[in-house]
Amino acid sequence: MKIKTNHIRAFTLIEMILAIGVAAIVLVAANSVFFTALHLRNATAVVVDAAAPIDQATAILRHDLQCAVTPNPSGTLSGGFKIGNVTTTGINEPVAAEIYTATGALSANNPWGEIQRVTYGLKSSTRGTAAGMDLYRSVTRNVLATATPDVAEQLMMRGVESVQFSGYNGSQWFNTWDTTDTSSANTNLPVAVRVDIQLSGGDRNTPIVILVPVDSQTSTNLAAASGT
């Protein structure tokens, strides 16, 4: 009587070694791709995080300039438009610009109107080891205050070397502008405003330049006087 024997084929040692080797190569390749993608993601996040404050600051600054209020000779609700080395009420050090602008947020719980005084200036960095200075936006909502008004400060950008505002009168640029100075030829809003922000750091030599046209201008319906 013949007995049948079932032969079960198993992997040899060489096949196991080859399989483990191939799996190891695949895992190394997948690990390399994963860490490359992770490094790219971290580098992109750093770039985006660095650019976000700049984009936000420039957007707010542009909005303030676009909504600049035309000068009022009586000074009510509008103290004028000033750029240069400006001394302003409620702020100890001079600022680069003082703007009366209609960018104030209206709220049922807030007694102020949409016109507010906004200043931009540099202050020493709150981080002792940080390069450059901090760009601050200071907002005064109560523009009719008879005493020293409350000023709310907003940190806009860190690591700023310098900030320069320039006004264009239609023919040339001026680094100083004061619509409240009756002895000056520039008693109206500029046609356009340019802001040059120089960042500190070796890899930031190119300044940030913001050019904003100003549409709001003082006009009159009086006919021009003619000689007889």
Q: How many domains does the chain have?
A: 1
pLDDT at 98 over 90: yes
Identity of the residue numbered 219: S
Which residue range is the domain that position 120 belongs to?
49-158
The answer to whether position 59 is within a domain reads: yes
Residue 192 domain-assigned?
Answer: no
Query: Number of helices and strands (H, E) in the chain?
Result: 1, 9
In a domain, 118, yes or no: yes
What Å distances lie between residue 2 and 6, 7, 8, 102, 215, CA to CA?
A: 13, 15, 19, 105, 108
In a domain, 217, yes or no: no
2 falls within a domain: no
CA distance 71 to 102: 12
Q: What is the pLDDT of residue 225?
A: 43
The answer to whether 160 and 197 have CB atoms below 8 angstroms apart is: yes
Three-state DSSP at 189 gives coil
Q: Please report whether residue 97 resides in a domain.
A: yes
Instruction: Name the helix (H) or strand (E) containing 23.
Output: helix 13-66
pTM (two decimals): 0.70
For residue 96, is it within any domain? yes
DSSP notation for 104-158: PPP-TT----S-EEEEEEEEE-SSTT-SSEEEEEEEE--TT-SSPPP-EEEEEEE
Cα 204 to Cα 62: distance, rounded to the nearest angstrom: 21
3-state secondary structure of 40: helix
pLDDT in tens, 113-155: 888 999 999 998 877 666 788 999 999 988 877 777 788 999 9
Answer whether residue 220 is part of any domain. Answer: no
Over residues 1-14, mean pLDDT: 65
